């Protein structure tokens, strides 16, 4: 059995107004993963104390970064409920913040923060799945607070992905903005653990208009398109993470993730087993691609608006 480690409150809730250098930003990326995947959070299973503690940490980071709260909520939390396979009602909470862009059209950038908790007295910390996605989301949020995007960006840390994509489904059922204004979902789920430097970008099979933007100029990372053809069966990832809820509404998506590894859904999915260099490169590539998608989709909308006027 793992011993529960105590992280000082000052570390969990620390805030700084000092502008971070690139090195500091990379350090923060790894720090966020390490903290969220520590034993303190008890595997972050939806409806548990560990999940509540994880929310408090993510909210503290949202505040530190300076994310705005959506007008329809009093804070960052979006509560929802669902019944598990035993018929028990479970309370979940998504965390939502936004950066206003030049357009009211929206891109939702998402990552789920929950994991599978404690099983047989072992803590399943979910460092790659999906503390990594949340850390990358926080990195992107910090960037776009300093670099105004074209679209308005909603940053969504979804709950209850492991329980059947419940948080994302609740979001699209009761969206905080008009659903037709959401032009894209960029979802990150498992982006820190790959020994070959390969990051998959899923979604261009159904939405080929996104393909020209999905590449990285960096030689440090391999962006591979795929895992999105229905003919692939279980290797089709279209319905295997939170982007599925957006796809069901015909909202285009790009899902970034790695192929399953030896630590997937095991107690060994810990911070010490991620690939820090790969993760840093992957998060930089996701940022690069998100900026390109933001720009290209905005230009397309401007062109279409001019055509309608003429």
Beta bridge partners of 97: 155
Task: Say what the pLDDT of residue 19 is.
Answer: 42
* 22-66: pLDDT as tens digits: 555 679 999 999 999 999 999 999 999 999 999 999 999 999 999
Residue 29 domain-assigned (yes or no): no
* 253-272: pLDDT as tens digits: 999 999 999 999 999 999 99
DSSP 266: S
Checking if the pLDDT of 105 tops 80, the result is yes
* 141-200: pLDDT as tens digits: 999 999 999 999 999 999 999 999 999 999 999 999 999 999 999 999 999 999 999 999
Residue 97 domain-assigned (yes or no): yes
Residue 149 domain-assigned (yes or no): yes
If you average pLDDT over every residue of the chain, what do you get? 92
Residue 27 domain-assigned (yes or no): no
* 75-98: pLDDT as tens digits: 999 999 999 989 999 999 999 999
Checking if the pLDDT of 3 tops 60, the result is no
Please tell me the total count of domains within the chain. 1
Three-state secondary-structure class, residue 202: strand
For 275, the token pair is 């690939």
Tell me the residue range of the domain where 297 lies: 39-309
Task: Say what the pLDDT of residue 70 is.
Answer: 96
Task: Say what the pLDDT of residue 4 is.
Answer: 35
Residue 10 domain-assigned (yes or no): no
DSSP 37: T
DSSP E strands, 53-189:
77-83, 89-99, 106-112, 117-119, 122-124, 152-158, 182-188
Task: Say what the pLDDT of residue 100 is.
Answer: 98
What Cα–Cα distance (Å) separates residue 44 from each residue in 106, 211, 227, 238? Answer: 28, 34, 27, 24
Residue 1 domain-assigned (yes or no): no
Nearest to 261 by CA among 249, 279, 247, 238: 279
Residue 30 domain-assigned (yes or no): no
Task: Say what the pLDDT of residue 303 is.
Answer: 77
Nearest to 99 by CA among 58, 68, 142: 68
> From CA 184, how far away is CA 209, in angstroms rounded?
12
SS3 of the chain: helix, strand, coil, percent, to 5:
40, 20, 40
* 200-229: pLDDT as tens digits: 999 999 999 999 999 999 999 999 999 999
Task: Say what the pLDDT of residue 199 is.
Answer: 98
* 297-309: pLDDT as tens digits: 999 987 777 666 6
Instruction: Find all residues with CB under 8 Å of 69, minimum gap 6, and list them.
Output: 75, 76, 96, 97, 98
Residue with tokens 């020209």: 212
Task: Say what the pLDDT of residue 216 is.
Answer: 98
Can you tell me the mean pLDDT for 4-8?
A: 37
Task: Say what the pLDDT of residue 72 is.
Answer: 84
> From CA 201, how far away is CA 188, in angstroms rounded?
10
Checking if the pLDDT of 239 tops 50, the result is yes
Residue 4 domain-assigned (yes or no): no
Three-state secondary-structure class, residue 105: coil
CATH number at residue 115: 3.40.630.10
Instruction: Find all residues with CB under 8 Å of 99, minimum gap 6, and list them.
Output: 67, 68, 141, 144, 145, 148, 149, 152, 153, 155
Which of the four pLDDT bands, split at 50, 70 and 90, describes residue 18? very low
Task: Say what the pLDDT of residue 9 is.
Answer: 36
């Amino acid at each position: 059995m793992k011993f529960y480690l105590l992280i000082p409150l000052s570390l969990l809730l620390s805030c700084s107004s000092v502008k971070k250098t690139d090195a500091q930003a990379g350090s923060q990326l790894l720090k966020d993963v390490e903290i969220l995947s520590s034993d303190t959070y008890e595997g972050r299973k939806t409806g548990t104390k560990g999940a509540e503690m994880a929310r408090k940490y993510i909210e503290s980071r949202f505040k530190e970064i300076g994310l705005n709260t959506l007008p329809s909520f009093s804070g960052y939390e979006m509560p929802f409920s669902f019944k598990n396979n035993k018929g028990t009602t479970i309370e979940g909470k998504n965390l939502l913040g936004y950066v206003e862009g030049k357009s009211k059209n929206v891109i939702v950038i998402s990552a789920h923060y929950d994991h599978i908790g404690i099983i047989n007295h072992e803590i399943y910390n979910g460092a790659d799945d999906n503390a990594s996605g949340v850390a990358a989301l926080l990195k992107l949020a910090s960037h776009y607070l300093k670099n105004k995007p074209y679209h308005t960006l909603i940053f969504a840390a979804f709950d209850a992905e492991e329980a059947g994509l419940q948080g994302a489904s609740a979001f699209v059922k009761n969206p905080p903005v008009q659903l037709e204004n959401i032009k894209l979902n960029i979802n990150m789920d498992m982006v820190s653990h790959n020994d070959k430097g390969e990051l998959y970008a899923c979604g261009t099979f159904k939405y080929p208009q996104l393909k020209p933007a999905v590449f990285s100029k960096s030689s440090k990372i391999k962006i591979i398109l795929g895992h999105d053809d229905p003919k692939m069966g279980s290797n089709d990832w279209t319905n295997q993470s939170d982007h599925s809820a957006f796809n069901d509404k015909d909202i285009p998506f790009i899902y970034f993730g790695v192929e399953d590894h030896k630590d997937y859904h095991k107690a060994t999915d810990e911070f010490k087993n991620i690939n820090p260099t790969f993760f840093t490169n992957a998060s930089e590539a996701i940022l690069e691609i998100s900026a390109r998608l933001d720009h290209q989709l905005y230009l397309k909308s401007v062109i279409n608006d001019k055509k309608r006027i003429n």
